[in-house]
Every structure is written in structure tokens, then in C-alpha cells.
Amino acid sequence: MHAIVAKHCATELVQRQGTTDRSGAMSNRRFASPNSLKPDALRLKLAGMKKSAPISLKHHFLIAMPHMTDPNFAQTVTYLVEHNEQGAMGLVINKPNGLNLADVLEQLRPDEDPAALCHSLPIFAGGPVQTDRGFVLHPAGTQYQATLELGELSLSTSQDVLFAIADGSGPDRYLITLGYAGWDAGQLEAELADNAWLTCPANSSILFDLPFHQRLDAAAARLGVNLSLLTSQVGHA
């Protein structure tokens, strides 16, 4: 699975790009070997940034308000991997991109037939930035060739985690995405002020256990909110 280009992701936390190609064509997907990934740069950068953020929504859900018109984020819930004064990075967790793990494995291991289960494991559109980059979010405790610890969760970006999942030796719970969502400094705060999002602490059961089509309403319900009753005049949490 291709690296997210960790240093780039940590230092720029690029602004969301709605024009990014979202075709999902496998011919455009690029994957790197585990040894080519260097998470240390991202790990050290994010660690150094933590102390500069007075209020952080890291490990929170962003719940799109009903009036969200951006097609990349309408009716979505996003897990925030990092949030500080330099920007934010997250993964949309409820928007399948039409691919499954078998599609990816057929490219990575063309001489092996993917296990039947792989055909039912969806790949999610994690966001409109670098949609050819792969991410696997899973509980902490298992290290792969490129794994970044996020506290109770980890983010892995190397092929070996995909092979482990396919072979039955990987994490029991996981979410696989292509692409991520990024906000420049102050951008997410401005969107929150404009009532684009609700926020609540992330929940592992919603991340990994609920069917994807139930995750948005379940996240909102943690705030006691029924999204169908909200209007553009409602403030953010």
C-alpha cells in the first residue's frame, strides 16, 4: 500500500481539494513496498505540534451538517487523526469508494487469488486529498512496517497490514481508506464557526463495528441529535 508521503502530510496538512480525481480507476492507484515508508517524520512532527494546540479535536468525529453541499463531505462522518494550530487531518469513515480489498490485492499480489472474504471488505474514500494513498486505521498494539501510534488507535500505511488482513493474521478491527481530508491552519475552525460540522469524541464501536450506513446517525446520536431535524440555523456542538 502506498505511503501517504508522511513528511508532506505532516508539514503541509494540505487544504481540501475538491477537484481531486475521484474516479477510483485501479490503473491510477499506486502502491509502495513497506520498506519505502517512513512514518518517523510524521510521528516526530505531530508529537512536536501537540503542545502548540490549545484546543484539539484529535480523536473526535466531524459530523457533516445537513446543509453541507461539498460532495466530498455531504452526509459524512470524519475521524480526526490530528488537529492543532497548523491544521487538521482526518479520514471519512462512511463513504465506500466502490472498491474492495480483493481489488487492491489483485494489484499487489497478482499471482494469488484473494480470499473470498476480501471481496466483501470495502475500501472507503477517506477524503479528496491524495486519493491514491492508502491508510488503515486499527486499534493500537500491532506494529507494521509503517505504523503511526495515535493513542488507542494506530494508522498503518504499508502493504503488510493489507496482506495480514487478507491472510487472517491482521487486526481484528480496521478501516481501509484511499485518500484523506486535510485542513489548512484555521480552516477547520472557520468551518466550525460557520456551522458546517458537529463534533463529538470518537467511538471505536462506530468506527469499526457498525455498518457504514449507520455511522453518521450513530455519531450524531451521541450528542442527542437527530440530523433530519436540524436546519442551517442550528449551531455546532
Q: Are 53 and 85 in contact (CB under 8 A)?
A: yes
User: What single letter denotes the amino acid at residue 87?
Assistant: G
Looking at residue 230, its pLDDT comes to 78
From the list 85, 2, 89, 92, the residue with the least C-alpha distance to 42 is 89
Residue 21: band (very low, low, confident or very high) from pLDDT cuts 50, 70, 90: very low
Looking at residue 237, its pLDDT comes to 46
Residue 55: band (very low, low, confident or very high) from pLDDT cuts 50, 70, 90: confident
Residue 233: band (very low, low, confident or very high) from pLDDT cuts 50, 70, 90: very low
Residues 6 or more apart whose Cβ sits within 8 Å of residue 182: 9, 12, 13, 14, 15, 16, 87, 88, 89, 90, 127, 129
Query: Domain map of the chain by residue range?
Result: 6-229
Looking at residue 94, its pLDDT comes to 98
Mean per-residue pLDDT, 117-126: 95
Looking at residue 39, its pLDDT comes to 55
Mean per-residue pLDDT, 43-67: 73
Q: What is the mean pLDDT of the chain?
A: 81
Residue bearing the bigger pLDDT, 212 or 45: 212
pLDDT of residue 113 exceeding 80: yes
- Predicted structure pTM score: 0.77
pLDDT of residue 150 exceeding 90: yes
pLDDT of residue 72 exceeding 50: yes
pLDDT of residue 18 exceeding 70: no
Which range, of 14-18, 76-80, 172-176, averages the lowest pLDDT? Answer: 14-18
Mean per-residue pLDDT, 103-131: 93
Looking at residue 231, its pLDDT comes to 60
Looking at residue 40, its pLDDT comes to 59
Looking at residue 2, its pLDDT comes to 37
The secondary structure of residue 206, as a DSSP letter, is: I
Looking at residue 95, its pLDDT comes to 97
What topology does CATH give the domain 6-229?
Answer: VC0467-like (3.40.1740)
% of the chain with per-residue pLDDT over 90: 68
Mean per-residue pLDDT, 221-234: 79
Helical H runs in the chain?
6-12, 39-50, 101-108, 159-167, 187-193, 204, 215-221
Looking at residue 229, its pLDDT comes to 85
